[in-house]
Each structure stands twice: as structure tokens, then as C-alpha cells.
DNA sequence: CCCTGATTCGC
DNA sequence: GCGAATCAGG
């Protein structure tokens, strides 16, 4: 397998989206987890919570910096090269620049068909309500809402009028979330449930989907990544 | 053991 | 450039 533009794009999106190298690997198919990691690094996509080497940098203070070089594993690295040239490396490098300059190179032809984001069913990473599932290490804003200073009887906003709110839910009404929590018009489906399920028939179709065996996932997947929120 | 990403190095 | 082998932390 070779790294085509599309495969690289998938890799990039999934990597930045927080998918693990393993997930990316068997999503792409034909490549190993190592291959994905190797490629990701070659692409310059690095920096993401690695289990190893959290990088503990507290060098100077009063220690001689010179004696820190040959620490331990000489078994693999011969490298007898005498290169005592420590470049000052003055330029600070802002990382975000690397990913911002991509629009030109893309093959975004108008013939690209991706008209129906609703019908995609990537089970791995999009949850009900359209949230992108991420690893625990990837949470960015742990504290979204500033708590109100005074509790007030939650006046129903105009947007929610007639909608099924949390308090309206019963085991007869579909609990499928519409919109996103925190938004003014967040509510629930409210249709009559599919008996025995928490959702109506339509949303049961969204909630319960067959999981294909690992190796058998569809090879050319419509990407969930970059795709709009499903609603 | 399993998982993870990082790194090295022969190809 | 590629990726298996290896390392190392969770």
C-alpha cells in the first residue's frame, strides 16, 4: 500500500481528530500501526499525548549541561561522530503555522460528492448528537459553563417552547437529543418510542448499528472527520 | 498481558 | 520515504 493523497488526508484528519494510531491503521487498511505513526511523524504531525516521555524539562539551575549527553542505551546507537556544534537555534517556531497552509495543495474538485453527511455511519467516532468521540487525553475545555451566581427557576426560552425538554421526558418519549447541550434550543426528539427502546423507530436506526468485524470495515470510508455535525 | 506513541535504522 | 523492531509509560 502506498500513501496516496487521500490516505494521507485521512491519516491527518484522524490523527488530529484524536484517533489512535491503531484505529487509523485498520481504518486505512493495509498498514500497520507503526506505519501510521511513522508516517505521521514524517508528515510533521507530532505532538500529542504520548504515554512515554512526557518530557521533563528542568535543565539549568546549577548543573553543568555538558555531561548529560550519553545517558544509557549505547546498544543501538553507534554514532561516534564528533559533532560538537550546538546550534544556538534562536528562532522560536510557532507550530500552528504548519497546518494552516494547506488549502492550495488539495484536490478539491467540484465533482467531489459528499452530499449526504447524515447518512454516514462511522461507528467509531461519532456519537449521538454528533459529538466527536475523543480520547481522555484530548479534552480541551473541561470547564465549559460558568456557574450562575444565583439559581433561578430556569425560565423556558422561546426557542424551547413546544419542544421536549429534559423534564418532559418519559419512558414513552424518544430521548434522542436534538442539537447540543448548552445551546438554547437543545431538546429531545419526543416522538413515541419504539417499544422496548429509549428512542423512536427512526432514532433506533441511528442508535443501533451492526458493528463489522475489525478487518472487514469498508475500505473507502466516507470520512466522519471534517464532516459536519450529524443532526 | 494489553494498550499507547516515539525512535531507530535497514531497506 | 517506508515500516518492522524496539523502547518505554499507562
Is a pLDDT exceeding 90 seen at residue A204? no
Judge whether residue A136 contacts strand C, using its CB and a 7 Å cut-off. no
Residue A196 CA to nucleotide B6 C1', Å? Answer: 48
Nearest nucleotide to the CA of A76, by C1', is B8
Q: Is residue A109 part of a domain?
A: no
C-alpha cell, A1: 500500500
Judge whether residue A62 contacts strand B, using its CB and a 7 Å cut-off. no
**Distance (Å, rounded) from C-alpha A53 to C-alpha A67?**
20
**pLDDT tens for each residue of A69-104:** 333 343 344 434 444 434 443 434 444 433 344 444
Better pLDDT: A76 or A158: A158
Q: Is residue A174 part of a domain?
A: yes
Percent of chain A with pLDDT over 90: 7
Say which residues have a Cβ less than 8 Å from residue A27's Cβ, sequence separation at least 6.
A10, A14, A19, A124, A217, A221
For residue A183, give the nearest of A219, A157, A150 by alpha carbon.
Answer: A157
Judge whether residue A45 contacts strand B, using its CB and a 7 Å cut-off. no
Instruction: Work out the mean pLDDT of chain A and round it to a whole number.
Output: 61
**Integer angstrom CA distances of residue A162 from A104, A137, A193, A201, A209:** 47, 39, 18, 21, 30
Q: Is residue A134 part of a domain?
A: no
Residue at minimum CA to C1' distance from nucleotide C9: A52
Judge whether residue A50 contacts strand C, using its CB and a 7 Å cut-off. no
Q: Is residue A167 part of a domain?
A: yes
Judge whether residue A72 contacts strand B, using its CB and a 7 Å cut-off. no
Domain interval for residue A190 = 160-209
Better pLDDT: A63 or A160: A160
Count: domains in chain A = 2
Residue A40 CA to nucleotide B4 C1', Å? Answer: 15
Q: Is residue A229 part of a domain?
A: no
Q: Is the dihedral of CA A76, A80, A84, A89 positive or negative?
A: negative
- Cell 501510521, residue located: A36
What pTM was computed for the model? 0.37
Residue A111 CA to nucleotide B6 C1', Å? Answer: 39
Q: Is residue A142 part of a domain?
A: no
Amino acid at each position: 500500500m502506498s500513501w496516496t493523497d487521500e490516505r494521507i488526508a485521512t491519516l491527518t484528519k484522524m490523527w488530529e481528530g484524536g484517533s489512535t494510531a491503531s484505529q487509523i491503521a485498520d481504518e486505512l487498511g493495509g498498514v500497520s500501526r507503526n506505519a501510521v505513526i511513522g508516517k505521521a511523524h514524517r508528515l510533521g504531525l507530532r505532538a500529542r499525548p504520548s504515554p512515554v516521555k512526557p518530557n521533563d524539562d528542568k535543565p539549568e539551575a546549577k548543573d553543568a549541561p555538558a555531561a548529560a549527553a550519553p545517558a544509557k542505551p549505547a546498544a543501538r546507537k553507534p554514532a561516534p561522530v564528533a559533532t560538537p556544534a550546538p546550534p544556538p537555534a534562536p528562532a522560536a517556531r510557532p507550530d500552528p503555522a504548519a497546518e494552516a497552509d494547506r488549502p492550495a495543495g488539495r484536490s478539491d474538485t467540484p465533482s467531489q460528492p459528499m452530499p449526504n453527511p447524515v447518512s454516514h455511519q462511522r461507528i467509531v467516532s461519532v456519537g449521538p448528537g454528533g459529538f466527536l468521540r475523543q480520547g481522555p487525553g484530548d479534552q480541551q475545555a473541561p470547564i465549559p459553563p460558568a456557574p450562575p451566581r444565583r439559581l433561578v427557576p430556569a425560565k423556558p426560552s422561546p426557542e424551547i417552547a413546544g419542544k421536549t425538554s429534559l423534564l418532559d421526558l418519559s419512558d414513552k418519549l424518544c430521548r434522542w437529543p436534538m442539537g447540543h447541550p448548552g445551546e438554547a434550543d437543545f431538546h429531545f426528539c419526543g416522538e413515541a418510542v419504539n417499544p422496548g427502546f429509549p428512542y423512536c423507530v427512526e432514532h433506533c436506526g441511528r442508535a443501533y448499528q451492526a458493528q463489522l468485524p475489525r478487518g472487514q470495515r469498508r475500505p473507502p470510508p466516507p470520512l466522519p472527520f471534517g464532516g459536519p455535525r450529524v443532526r
